Structure 1
């Protein structure tokens, strides 16, 4: 990470609405040129932080710096950032080219220059031949790219994106995730991306801040967030985890504390390989016997819920690299095994999200 001043620095950032602390003392540095995501459930504070950075809300306490300048009380139009919203907010009566050029027009840029810059912006989002069309003649993904072009044509130092892919269907959203990352790399500017979609954050981000109750629960790279969650909340919210409380850890793992184990880290074999029901399997592995309770087919993989004889329910994820008949497998006896090195010890400082049955969305 560069030692230069961060693109965005938040210090003690707080926002209250009545008795509610929507943002509660957030400290955060976002580097220049970084694709940074703020991830969390509804009401976690991520969108409020974005609005504070944009200037649409003023903080109750704390400071906001953009590229070394304190902009805490500065109006939105005097901040060197731009925002892309979920609904795109394109002008339906204007052509695509005029929509993109609108921000330059407001800034007093001459007609010839603004149209030239708007065409160049459309080329960057691969819509160079669409300038004469109206927004109604475009697909959802194309409108999203027009909104990106309009936001970037004024050359902001940072772009704020408030769940811009949320209105798209799954296939188009996955396509746009790839395109959005490519556009960010080409432009080389800071992207701050708000989403509640864990997979989206993992796919796009250089770093992720996971929000809960107005605070940052964990900050790190996608790999760090997924492989080394630091609380039960992060382990349960980002992907799916088998979370074992102190009693379950003693029973299954032979140790106390709270632990997380990702479903894909578990292996499954038919039948009871050996007794007792729970124990060491050698070479740093452990295993437990159980019964298949349910199977959930999700295309590329199957989520298998196992009721262990020790009293816990776990979920195992297996790739569908061969035919799997789900009906006849319910009720069969199996042995579940895992490596001790795949266990993540969790502090008991946070709550787990409301997911009573692992593996079932």
Structure 2
């Protein structure tokens, strides 16, 4: 990056007794970027967020926010704010008072803090709920109050620690759209922590996939999904079919380890003769109806059990049932080479 990054982590390390939670992480996040840190529990992503916020002190390395070294700066002196999964709203306060609380702590006068709090509520479409208590709101509305409270103090960056994790699926999908829209309207840097790969792909400009305290791969959602660099990323980000060295040799005719996404495969009654395509024979174990598509589980004669995802439209050439013989076909360009585990 040529411009000064909003956040720069250099050799960031955090150890808890004998456990290295964050292992020499180097990372730059651009100003105005929606950046996600994705990984399973224990991968180090939340610890990195807490280090940026100042809630934890690093064992080694440095943290720069907007060009200033804040490695030893206390949380309240950093130009960031944090939204947690549990919202942490004051139950005895009105929605307006919850949002204005940070301004009150900063000594902002009553008239100004009311005006700014109402503007923040309007930004999350809750200006008609100012006099309600948190208990009178839905989960999605409470989440928006938490966002308004975090943004009303005008932080340069907003840190979000799995803020949608407590919501049901439909509400979570709705909040994803609203969160991305809010970030675009505010124009500030969002750092989003999640273990949900679909959430990270939906929201982010870029994603860092964490594994064992390190960044396994960094890229745009498309780059991570279409070109996973390692076995871990291919397996963690979305659903994929993995071919180890033995099966890669017998099925793909290649040496190494490879990945093919289920939607890149098709089923046919006969092997493909088209240039750039290969086919492998197998037996359908199960076909699962998904509404928008069908997922077929196929045992390849000379390979592993794989998943094939077909759209539920008129392009399907076969409609196999359990026990049917099929030929699975793919394009050579859709086969992605991986760095094997431990390499």
Q: Same fold (TM over 0.5)?
A: yes
TM-score between both structures, scaled by the size of structure 2:
0.96
TM-score (norm 1): 0.92
Q: Secondary structure at the match of 2:113?
A: helix
Deviations 1:2-34 (A, max 9, x none): x22100000000001111110000000000000
Say if 2:334 is the partner of 1:335: no
Decide which of 262, 276, 292 is 1:300's aligned counterpart: 292
CA RMSD of aligned residues (A): 1.5
Aligned counterpart, 1:310? 302
Matched, 1:281 2:273: yes
Aligned mates of 1:5, 1:346 — CA distance in 2: 33
Alignment partner of 1:73: what SS? Answer: coil
Indicate yes or no: 2:97 matched with 1:98. Answer: yes
d(CA) in 2 for partners of 1:157, 1:98: 22
Number of equivalenced pairs: 340
Name the counterpart of 1:185.
Answer: 184
CA distance in 2 between counterparts of 1:335 and 1:347 reads: 28
Give how far 1:302 is off: 2.1
Structure 2 vs 1, CA of residues 350 and 126 (structure 1 numbering), >3 Å: closer, same or farther? farther
State the shift of 1:350 in Å: 4.4
Counterpart of 2:129?
Answer: 130
> Which segments of structure 1 move beyond 3 Å, counting only runs of 4 or more?
none
CA displacement 1:123-161 (0-9 Å, x = unmatched): 101111110111111111111000000000000000000
> How far apart, CA to CA, are the structure 2 residues paired with 1:127 and 1:203?
24
- Per the TM alignment, residue 297 of structure 1 is displaced from its structure 2 partner at its CA by 3.0
Kindly state the Cα deviation for residue 75 of structure 1 after the two structures are TM-superposed. Answer: 0.5
Cα offset, 1:328, TM superposition? 7.7
Aligned residues of 1:43 and 1:213 also touching (Cα < 8 A): yes
Structure 1 position 320, deviation (Å): 2.3
Say which SS state the counterpart of residue 273 (structure 2) adopts: strand
Once residues 221 and 99 of structure 2 are traced to their aligned partners in structure 1, the CA distance between those partners, rounded to angstroms, is: 33
Distance 1:44 1:281 in 2: 44
1:16 aligned residue: 15
Which residues of structure 1 form unaligned runs of 5+?
275-279, 352-361
Give the conservation status (yes or no) of the 8 Å contact 1:232–1:350. Answer: no
More displaced 10-residue stretch of structure 1: 294-303 or 340-349: 294-303
- The answer on 1:226 being equivalent to 2:225 is yes
Alpha-carbon separation, structure 1, partners of 2:17 and 2:291: 46
Gaps of 5+ in 2: none
Separation in structure 2 between the aligned mates of residue 299 and residue 282 of structure 1, nearest angstrom: 30
- Residues 1:127 and 1:350: Cα distance change in structure 2 (over 3 Å): farther
Residue in structure 2 matched with residue 59 of structure 1 by the alignment: 58
CA contact (8 A) 1:285 1:337 kept: yes
| Structure 1 residues 1-361: aligned runs within 5 Å | 3-269=2-268, 271=269, 273-274=270-271, 281-321=273-313, 329-350=321-342
